[in-house]
Structure 1
Amino acid sequence: MTETREASMARSSETEYLSTDVTPPELLPAALALEVPSWAEAAATPADVTDWAARQARALIPFTLDEHGWPMNPQGRTGKTGRNLRYWGENQAADPIVVAGYGQERRVLLITRSDIGVEAIPGGMVDPGETAPAALVRELREETSVDLTDHTPTILGRDVVDDWRASDHAWVSSTSALYQLPTTVTATAADDADDATWYPFGSMDQLATAITDAGRTLYVAHVPLLARALDHLTH
């Protein structure tokens, strides 16, 4: 039997855990019964998911299920419940970090995200049946017009990222990869990007200053990924 949102909230209140349900109207059970958005799965709650073993087996970051069979965010409680992502449990993303030049002349390619208006790595969600390497190339091409199909990136890591949509039971894990170019190439914003910009990347402070001077803000969730790329380049 499907557990209602009210029942889920009651479970949380039993342990005096205060949280906010982040489920948008189109993913509420009543709405899903009428129409499932093309970008989301049909399961109204994790109790409606039937392939948890398979999802756990292919997860980038291992996760467990609680006593009710609901997926648990590997980073712990978030203060948020519900789902504002495609899947319950792990949602896989790909983040291509494109760097051009060397030393203090180094530049990194970032986009202005159309959803939250911040500067971010030009990445996105891995499509069903797609591999992370393919998603890295596709997302970069779709959002910046830069095609690095013939380049082999360095995989920097696989991490749970602090995505603004994440909750206790739905989160984002990303494969981040570094592409190194000798010089900058033309980048044109498209798809989910409002702008595409090459920023100074000699250090994280230099990047932060350049973004602030442009009147913009760096996406907090991507700071650790960019810092790791810079560390790889400088050591």
Structure 2
Amino acid sequence: MSQYMPADITPPELRPRALARHVPEWAEAAPTPADVHDWDQRRASALVPFELDDRGWPLHPHGRTGRTGRNLGRWGENEAADPIVVAGTGQDRQVLLITRDDIRVEAIPGGMVEPGETAPAALVRELLEETGVDLSDHRPIILGRDLVDDWRNSDHAWVASTSALYLLPVTVTAVAASDALGANWYPFGSLAQLDAAITAAGRTLYAAHRPLLHRALDHLAK
């Protein structure tokens, strides 16, 4: 049987020696999961249930990832919010996507839920910060609360997201800001149509968001 040897993806700023000197504002100070002392609370409030191993370390709900360490703010689940904004109907539908500044792909606007913040509040805040679109007076349709196949996931730290659908009669002006390099409306009659438009623009769709967009289309087809 081959030995499991996951790659450590912890960036320099989150390694123990660096954390002892300075903790980034977006990260918790714990150098390992053993230094976290509220696992009962975190498990009780998790979007997706998870277990702890014999050491008391959190385990990715879907099993091994091939990666260990932490490249996210928290050990265990990191809660995110993904607002899917759709305008129009049928083959004239369009969806609002941003160009992420970290991996340069087209993605749903969104990000991490901040400490003490609710997912509905995070949906509105992230959308406003990244696109300038204010939908605070809209009530979204919650599509799901699921694991996201984020590139930063590891065996002991991962992303789970609340995805929500906002429906608008027509497109509104969107201007990229915060950690978005661009904010654009794309045709959204189908995933194939979306893929073709993104490819024509010389871009790539963020693979981790494909299931969320597929779920939105399924809901719209009902």
- Asked if Structure 1 and Structure 2 have the same fold, meaning a TM-score greater than 0.5 normalized by the shorter chain, the answer is yes
- 2:159 matched to 1:172? yes
1:118 Cα shift? 0.3
Distance 2:66 2:147 in 1: 16
Among 67, 73, 89, the residue aligned to 2:54: 67
Secondary structure of the 2:213 match is helix
The reply to whether residue 90 of structure 1 matches residue 64 of structure 2 is: no
Cα RMSD of the aligned pairs, angstroms, is 1.0
Report whether the alignment pairs 1:46 with 2:28: no
Of stretches 31-40 and 122-131 in structure 1, the one that deviates more from structure 2 is 31-40
Deviation at 1:75, TM superposition (A): 1.2
Residues of 1 paired with 2:132 and 2:191: CA distance? 25
Which residue in the other structure is 2:20 paired with?
33
Residue 15 of structure 1: CA displacement?
7.6
1:129 and 2:91 aligned: no
Q: Secondary structure at the match of 1:36?
A: coil
Q: Deviations over 1:113-170 (max 9, x none)?
A: 0011000000000000000000000000000000000000000000000000010000
Cα 1:69–1:15 change in 2 (3 A) is: farther
C-alpha displacement of 1:193: 0.3
Name structure 1 gaps, 5 residues minimum.
Answer: 1-13
In the alignment, structure 2 segments of 5+ residues that lack a partner are none
Q: Could you say what secondary structure the match of 2:208 adopts?
A: helix
After superposition, the C-alpha distances for 1:28-84 in whole angstroms (9 at most, x for unaligned) are 001111111111000000000000000001100000100110000001100000000
Task: Name the counterpart of 2:95.
Answer: 108
In structure 2, C-alpha distance between the alignment counterparts of 1:177 and 1:76, rounded to whole Å = 26
Q: Distance in 2 between matches of 1:104 and 1:37?
A: 45
Number of residue pairs aligned between Structure 1 and Structure 2: 222
Structure 1 runs of 4+ with >4 Å offset: none
Residue 204, structure 1, aligned to residue 191, structure 2 = yes
Partner AA of 1:25 in structure 2: P
Aligned to 2:204: 217
State the AA in 1 paired with 2:10. Answer: T
Alignment TM-score, normalising by the size of structure 1:
0.93
Could you tell me the percent identity over the aligned residues? 73
1:148 paired residue number: 135
> Which residue number corresponds to residue 169 of structure 2?
182
**Candidates 149, 163, 187, aligned match of 1:162:** 149
The 3-state SS of whatever aligns with 2:174 is: coil
Q: How far does the alpha carbon of each residue in 1:176-213 deviate from its partner, in whole angstroms, 9 at most, with x for none?
A: 00000000000000001000000000000000000000
TM-score using structure 2 length: 0.99
3-state secondary structure, aligned to 2:121: helix
Q: CA 1:217 to 1:233, structure 2 compared with 1: closer, same or farther past 3 Å?
A: same
| Counterpart for residue 8 of structure 1 | none
The one-letter amino acid paired with 2:143 is L
Q: Tell me whether 1:56 sits opposite 2:43 in the alignment.
A: yes
